[in-house]
Chains A and B, each alone.
Chain A
C-alpha cells in the first residue's frame, strides 16, 4: 500500500490539514495531477501567449498607422548574404531598403497569421477551457478533481510544445528566404502548399515553416481532444449527489457544449492538416487541381472544424457571463433551461453553417440560400441568451463590481458583433464585404471584445477564489474603462474601412483609408495602456495580499465554489456535497 501512503504524503488530506506542496517545488507543477494547479498553469500560459499575440497586433497596427510600407522594413531580419552584398558595394542603400520593403510584405503577412493562431489556440482556448474550465468545472459540480488527472496534465504540457513549434515555424524559412508562414490562420491551400506556380512569389510556401505549423496545430488539437474527453467524462460521471444535469451551473453547461464541439470537430481539422502535410511532402494532390484535387475542398474541411471552433471560443464566455450577471444582480439566471438549451442548439447548428465562410468560392445559389438560412437561425438562440441576461438584470439589485462591468461590456459589444454577423450571413452582402475590414471588425467584436471581455470578467470574478486575495477595485475598474474605450476605438472604425472597401491582410493601403486607420492605431495604444494597468493590478494584488473570504460577492454567489475556502483546499470535497433542489443554479 506504499502507493496510497505516498498519495497522503503528497497532500490528500482535507481542509483542516491541507498539506499543500510548496509553490517552489518544481515537481508540484511539472508532474501535477491537481486540476487547480493545472488550471493555474493554463492561465499563466494564456497570459504569456496573449502578451506575445498582442504585441504582434501592435506591430500590425503601427505599420497600418499611415499608408506606405514604412515601419516593418526596420524590423525585418536581413540575411548574412544580403549584408555581405551591401558591404561589398554590390547593393546600395536604396536597394537594401527596397529589399527590406519586400521582406516586410511577407513579415506583415506572418504577423497577421501568427497573431490569429496565437490568440485562438494559445490564449482564448487555454484561458477559458484549460484555465477556468479546469479550475471551476470540478468545483461547481462538487467533484474532488477531474476524471483523468494525469491526462489533464498532458493536455497542458502539449501546449507549450505546440507553442514552441509555432514559434520555430515563425522563425524558419517559409516562402523562399523569408521566415514564417504568411497565408493566414486558415492555412488555405494553395498558399499553404509548396507546389508553386502561383502568380506572386508568396502565393505558396516551400519552406519548412508550414510543416512546423501543421505539426504545431496537430499537437494543439491532440491536447484539446484529450482535454475535451476529460471534461465530458468529469461532467457526466462525477457530479455530486443531487447535482442533476438540469441543476448544473450554466458555466458547466457551456463547457459541456464546448468540449463536445472540440471532440467532434478537431479530428476533421487533423485530417485536413494531414492532407496538407502529405500534399507538401508526398505529392498526394488532395488540394492540387493538376492532380485531380481541389483547393476548395480544403476550405470545406477547414470550416467544418473552423465554424464550431469560433463557437468553442465564445461559449465558455456565455457561461461565465451568466454566472457573473446572476451573482451581481442577486437573482437566479432568467430562463435557466432556455439558456442551457440555447447553448446546445448553438452547438448543434454550428456544425451545419460552415460554408458561410466561403460564399465567394463559387458554390451553387441553392447551397448559398441554405447556408444563409441556417446561419440566420443561430441568431435565435443567441437572442435568447442576450435577452435572458438582460431579463436577469431587470429588477435585480445590481452591484457594479469589476466582473459585472466586463460582463455588461460583453453583452453590449457581443451584440454589436452579432448584429454585423447577421449582416455578413447574407451571401449577397458578403460578396462585397468578404475579406474586407468589415469582417475584421465583426470577428474582433465577438472575439476581442466578446471572448476577451468574458475572460477578464471571469478572471476578476474568480481571482479572489483562486488566489485568496482581493484585487484593487480602483485599478481593475480603471483597466476596464481604458480597455473598453481603447478596443472600441480600434475596431469600430474598421466597420467604416470595410464598408469603404479596404481589403484585409494587406500591408499597404490607399491614402483614402488613412483617417480611420490612424484612429484605429490610436485605439491600440489606449488598449495597450489598459493591458499595462492589468499587469499592475496583478502585481499589486499579490504584493498587498488583501485576504479574500470564502465568498467575497455575497448572497448572489451561490454556486459550490463559494462554499469553499479561498484558495480552496488542495483536494476539496473529500466528503461529497449533497445538492438540494433549491440550491441549484
Chain B
C-alpha cells in the first residue's frame, strides 16, 4: 500500500471518533454501575437500582464496538493490513490473551491460597471468632456440598473440548477454501458454546450446594461459594464473549468475508476460544475435581 511518498507498509490509521466515544461510554458505565449497585442520590437517574445511566453506557459501548471493528474490517478489505501489519495484529491478540490469563491468576490465587493455607489461618490466635475459625479449619468449608465433577462438569468439559476441535475444523476448511465446511464447523462451535453456557448457567448453577454471597442469611455461603462462582462465572462470561466473537466471524464468513489466505479475525477468535478452553481445564482440575476428591478422602 505504498502511496506517493510513503515507502513503508505500516498502517497509518485515519483520525477516528470511536476511542473518544468508547471512553464516554466507559464513564457512563462506571457511574451507572455505582448508581445501580449503591445509588448516589435521590434523583430519578441517581437512586439505587436505576438502570438508566448504565444502559446508556452499554448502548454507547455497543455502538463503539460495531463502529470501531467495522472500520477495522473495512480497512482490511482496503488492503491496509499488509503482512507486517498482520504480524502486529497477532502480537496484539496474543498480548491481550496474556493479560486475560493474568486476570484469571487473581481468581485462582484465592482458590489456591484457601486450599493450601486454610490450616494456618485456623491456628491463628488472632482469629478469635469461633465461627471464623471453623470456616478456616476445613476446605471446602463446612456446609458446602461440592459438585460431583464427573456428572455435568465432565459433560461441559467434553462440550468445550469438542468445540475446540470444531473451530479447528472450520479454520482448516477455510485454509483449503472449503467455505461450506468452514461455515458448518463454525456454526457447530457457536452452538456448542451456547450449549456450554446453557448447561453451566441454566442447569448447573441452580443446583449448587452452596450460595454465592452471604449477608448473614445463608449459613452455607462463604468464601468458597464466592471464589467458585466468581472464577467459573468470569470464565462463563468469557465463553459468552468468545461465542459472540465466533458468531460475528460466522456472519462475516456467510456474507463472503475472509479468504483462504487472509482470515485473521477468525484465527483471533479461535485463539481466544482455545484460551477459554484451557482456563476451563484448570478450573475443572482444581476447582471441581481436586476439592471433590479431597472430600471423598475425608
Contact yes or no, B12 A7, CB < 8 A: yes
Contact yes or no, B103 A268, CB < 8 A: yes
CB distance from A176 to the nearest CB of B (A): 14
- The number of residues on chain A lying at the interface, defined by a beta carbon within 8 Å of a beta carbon of chain B, is 87
Contact yes or no, A211 B92, CB < 8 A: no
> In the bound complex, what is the Cα–Cα distance between A495 and B1 (angstroms)?
60
> What residues on A are CB-neighbors of B88 within 8 Å?
147-148, 233, 237-238
CB closest residue in chain A, given B113: A297
> What residues on A are CB-neighbors of B39 within 8 Å?
208
Contact yes or no, A208 B92, CB < 8 A: no
A78 CB–B CB distance under 8 Å: no
Contact yes or no, A281 B37, CB < 8 A: yes
B19 CB–A CB distance under 8 Å: yes
> In the bound complex, what is the Cα–Cα distance between A232 and B109 (angstroms)?
26
Query: How would residues 128 to 165 of chain A score, 1 for a CB under 8 Å from any chain B CB and 0 otherwise?
Result: 00000000000000011101111101101110110011
> In the bound complex, what is the Cα–Cα distance between A574 and B22 (angstroms)?
30
> What residues on B are CB-neighbors of A266 within 8 Å?
99, 102
Given contacts A215-B34, A268-B102, A362-B124, contact A233 B19 (CB under 8 A): no
B239 CB–A CB distance under 8 Å: no
Query: How would residues 145 to 160 of chain B score, 1 for a CB under 8 Å from any chain A CB and 0 otherwise?
Result: 0000000000000000
Given contacts A219-B30, A286-B223, contact A147 B214 (CB under 8 A): no
B126-134, B252-260, B280-288 - the one binding chain A: B126-134
B136 CB–A CB distance under 8 Å: yes
Contact yes or no, A574 B95, CB < 8 A: no
Given contacts A158-B23, A160-B23, A271-B107, contact A225 B99 (CB under 8 A): yes
CB distance from A216 to the nearest CB of B (A): 7
> In the bound complex, what is the Cα–Cα distance between A161 and B33 (angstroms)?
14
CB distance from B220 to the nearest CB of A (A): 11
B182-190, B224-232, B264-272 - the one binding chain A: B224-232
CB distance from A209 to the nearest CB of B (A): 9
Contact of A282 among B14, B68, B213 (CB under 8 A): B213
B3-11, B241-249, B290-298 - the one binding chain A: B3-11
> In the bound complex, what is the Cα–Cα distance between A54 and B137 (angstroms)?
48
Given contacts A211-B37, A267-B100, contact A293 B105 (CB under 8 A): no
A8 CB–B CB distance under 8 Å: yes
> In the bound complex, what is the Cα–Cα distance between A8 and B26 (angstroms)?
32
Contact yes or no, B15 A27, CB < 8 A: yes
Contact yes or no, B37 A13, CB < 8 A: no
> In the bound complex, what is the Cα–Cα distance between A4 and B80 (angstroms)?
9
A291 CB–B CB distance under 8 Å: yes
B221 CB–A CB distance under 8 Å: yes
* CB contact list, A481-510 vs B, under 8 A: none
> What residues on B are CB-neighbors of A4 within 8 Å?
1, 3, 78
* CB contact list, B193-224 vs A, under 8 A: 212-215, 221-224
Q: B19, B129, B224: which has the most chain A beta carbons within 10 Å? A: B19
Contact of A291 among B10, B102, B214 (CB under 8 A): B214
A531 CB–B CB distance under 8 Å: no
CB distance from A93 to the nearest CB of B (A): 31
Contact yes or no, A263 B23, CB < 8 A: no
Contact yes or no, B27 A161, CB < 8 A: yes
A322 CB–B CB distance under 8 Å: no
Query: How would residues 90 to 103 of chain B score, 1 for a CB under 8 Å from any chain A CB and 0 otherwise?
Result: 01100110111111
Given contacts A149-B13, A266-B99, A284-B212, contact A300 B105 (CB under 8 A): no
Q: Is the interface of A mostly helix, strand, loop or mixed?
A: helix
Query: How would residues 53 to 87 of chain B score, 1 for a CB under 8 Å from any chain A CB and 0 otherwise?
Result: 00000000000000010010011001000001001
Query: How would residues 231 to 248 of chain A score, 1 for a CB under 8 Å from any chain B CB and 0 otherwise?
Result: 011001110000000000
B110 CB–A CB distance under 8 Å: yes
> In the bound complex, what is the Cα–Cα distance between A225 and B95 (angstroms)?
9
A28-36, A55-63, A375-383 - the one binding chain B: A28-36
> In the bound complex, what is the Cα–Cα distance between A144 and B9 (angstroms)?
10
A399 CB–B CB distance under 8 Å: no
A579 CB–B CB distance under 8 Å: no
B135 CB–A CB distance under 8 Å: yes
Query: How would residues 246 to 280 of chain A score, 1 for a CB under 8 Å from any chain B CB and 0 otherwise?
Result: 00000000000000000111111011101100100
Query: How would residues 9 to 48 of chain B score, 1 for a CB under 8 Å from any chain A CB and 0 otherwise?
Result: 0101111111110111011001101100111100000000
B121 CB–A CB distance under 8 Å: yes
CB closest residue in chain A, given B16: A150
Contact yes or no, B99 A229, CB < 8 A: yes
Contact of A33 among B1, B12, B27, B99 (CB under 8 A): B12
> In the bound complex, what is the Cα–Cα distance between A569 and B87 (angstroms)?
26
B181 CB–A CB distance under 8 Å: no
* CB contact list, A160-183 vs B, under 8 A: 160-161, 164-165, 168, 172
CB closest residue in chain B, given A9: B14
Contact of B95 among A153, A168, A263, A362 (CB under 8 A): A263
> What residues on B are CB-neighbors of A238 within 8 Å?
10, 84, 88
CB distance from A495 to the nearest CB of B (A): 32
Given contacts A229-B99, A281-B38, A571-B12, contact A286 B106 (CB under 8 A): no
Contact yes or no, A154 B23, CB < 8 A: yes
CB distance from A545 to the nearest CB of B (A): 27
Contact yes or no, A267 B26, CB < 8 A: no
Can you offer 21 A-B residue contacts whose CB atoms are under 8 A? A3-B75, A4-B78, A31-B16, A150-B13, A150-B68, A160-B23, A172-B40, A212-B34, A229-B99, A265-B102, A271-B106, A284-B213, A284-B223, A285-B221, A286-B226, A290-B129, A290-B131, A293-B222, A294-B121, A300-B109, A575-B7
- Extra A-B contacts (10), CB below 8 Å, given A232-B95, A236-B91, A265-B102: A10-B15, A229-B96, A264-B102, A267-B99, A268-B102, A275-B106, A282-B212, A290-B131, A292-B141, A576-B7
List the 3 closest pairs (A to B, CB-CB), nearest first: A271-B106, A283-B213, A154-B19
